[in-house]
Amino acid sequence: IYDLFVDLWGDEKLWVTIDRANVNIPVRNDWDFPGFLHWDIDVTYRPMPNNIQGVLSLNNNSKNSGGLQIIPDLFIQLEEWLKKKPKGWNESADGRHHYSKYFSEFDVLNLESNAGDLAIWDSRMVHGTSPNKSDYPRFAQYISMVPAEPGQDELLKIRLESFKNRRGPEGCGMPGDGRELTFGLPSKLTKHGKRLLGEMLWS
């Protein structure tokens, strides 16, 4: 995985993201999850942010079992779409920036995956989790790597404390489980792992 992100970024000095896992249970009478589509970046900002996202499947998923969904055609024509974007498209009552209802003109692609498959996409790609219409849960781990920022002292402190305390990092969009649960013993990192966390500088 590291080598893959090295190739994508053209940089060997990377930090792994501290992200969350996802469990998407099947839709049923007391759980009606419609899925969603969104961006995790502000696509109106210029220059548009450059980022790469990824999700690792932890079990096999069919097209109907609540996995990753994307809209490739919108990615291809994003600049043109933004010029004629629907009124109110980026106004979100819940602050989560789910824009599903504005993409009805596009075909949504639901991805199949096997346990161990890693899907990677450019953050300019509309993406999200689809409704789980199967009879089993979908399990996944979000994971990506980005160029290291050792000079960002506050960010580094957040990363190190998050790993040490085994909790979601504070002050970011992925705070983790709100119940503040911790599980098991801390992982023992290799030298390479310490560099990916930021505990050890890349030489």
Model-level pTM? Answer: 0.87
Rounded-to-integer distance, Cα 121 and Cα 98, Å: 18
Give residue 91's pLDDT. 62
Cα–chain center distance at 7? 19
- Encoded tokens for 183: 């599980």
Continuous H helices in the chain: 2-9, 72-76, 78-83, 153-165, 191-197
pLDDT tens for each residue of the chain, 203 residues long: 999 999 999 999 999 998 888 999 999 989 899 999 999 888 888 898 889 999 999 999 999 999 999 999 999 999 999 998 887 777 654 444 567 788 888 999 999 999 999 999 999 999 999 999 999 999 999 999 999 999 999 999 999 988 888 877 665 555 555 666 666 777 899 999 999 999 999 98
* Both structure tokens of 152: 């960002």
Residues in the chain: 203
Look at residue 75 in the predicted model and tell me its pLDDT: 95
Query: What is the number of H-type helices and E-type strands within the chain?
Result: 5, 9
Query: What pLDDT does residue 203 have?
Result: 84
pLDDT at 89: 77
- Write the CB contacts of 35 (distance below 8 Å, at least 6 apart in sequence): 66, 69, 100, 128, 129, 130, 131
Contact by Cβ (8 Å): 69, 35: yes
* Nearest-angstrom CA–CA distance, 203 and 201: 6
Angle at 58 between CA 20 and CA 118, to 5 degrees: 80
pLDDT score of 2: 97
- What integer pLDDT is reported at residue 187 of this predicted model? 85
How many whole angstroms separate alpha carbon 20 and alpha carbon 200? Answer: 23
pLDDT computed for residue 92 by the predictor: 56
